[in-house]
Each structure stands twice: as C-alpha cells, then as structure tokens.
Amino acid sequence: MLLLRAGYAYVPYSSLESVIEQSKESYYLALRRTQGTIRTATPNWTPWLIFFLKALQRQMRRLREKVERERLLIARLPDLSLRLLDHARDHGRISIGEAETLTGANRNTLKLHFKALRERGLLVLHGQGRGAWYSLPL
C-alpha cells in the first residue's frame, strides 16, 4: 500500500502469511521459546527475531523471483499488448472501447491481444459483451 501511495503503479504481491504458513512448526517453536522467557528479568527475543528475519528473507527471495519472472514474460510481449497492460496498471482496468481510443488499433486485433494476455494470466476478464473490462490478476 505504501508503494502504491508513493506513485508505483503496480506492485507484485508477496504474502508474509504464506511464508509463515509454510513453516508453521518453526513459527510455533520460536514463539514458545520466546514466550517462555517473557516474564523473566531477561526475556530472550532471539528465537522469535531470528524466525521473523528468516521469514522476511524468504519473502524477499520469493518476491524477487516473481518480479524477475514477470520482467522476462513482459519483455517478450508485442508493443500493443504492453500498452494495454500499462493502461490496466495505471487505471486499474481497461475495456476494448478504451483500448480502441488509446491505441487506434482495430477492434478484432485488440480482441486477439486481450485473449493472449488472458491466456498468459496477465489480465482477467470481468463481465460479458459491451460492459466487459479487464484488470490485472490479484
């Protein structure tokens, strides 16, 4: 949310919760070790901090891989498809009518580009017919 507020049009999502979910045993072990010392004169925060920092590190690696995959995938797209994706990122959505106005491209050509972007998982179709629009996947 902070990146979006700072002007970034699109930020791939990487869930810390999913990283923690994949290592539940370590999570609960670190939590128990730390909680066992909370009411002492010298609480031991080390187990929890080490777990949390390692989880952040795993999340960072996953996000880096996700961004790299997206960069490689987008680098191979035709210019028209890139323009459609950019508009969807900047405005949250795009329709074929908007795409016609934006690009001046033929409606049938645009439909082919939208179809290819959907098949690659880069856009999601909402609705049908004239009211249909596309957005980035969540």
| Structural domain count, the chain | 2
Residue 5 lies in a domain: no
pLDDT tens figures, 90-121: 888 999 999 999 999 999 999 999 999 999 88
Token reading at 133? 């629009």
Question: Are residue 63 and residue 100 in the same domain, yes or no?
Answer: no
Of the candidate ranges 11-20, 28-37, 56-65, the one whose mean pLDDT is the lowest: 11-20
- Give the domain-ending residue among 75, 100, 122: 75
Please check whether residue 94 is in contact with residue 134, taking contact to mean a CB–CB distance below 8 angstroms: yes
Question: Are residue 70 and residue 85 in the same domain, yes or no?
Answer: no
Residue 121 lies in a domain: yes
Residue 1 lies in a domain: no
Q: How confident is the model at residue 3 (pLDDT cuts 50, 70, 90)?
A: low
Please check whether residue 52 is in contact with residue 101, taking contact to mean a CB–CB distance below 8 angstroms: no
Token reading at 33? 């070790």
pLDDT tens figures, 46-93: 999 999 999 999 999 888 887 777 777 777 889 999 999 989 988 889
Q: For residue 84, what is the domain's CATH number?
A: 1.10.10.10
Domain that holds residue 89: 79-135
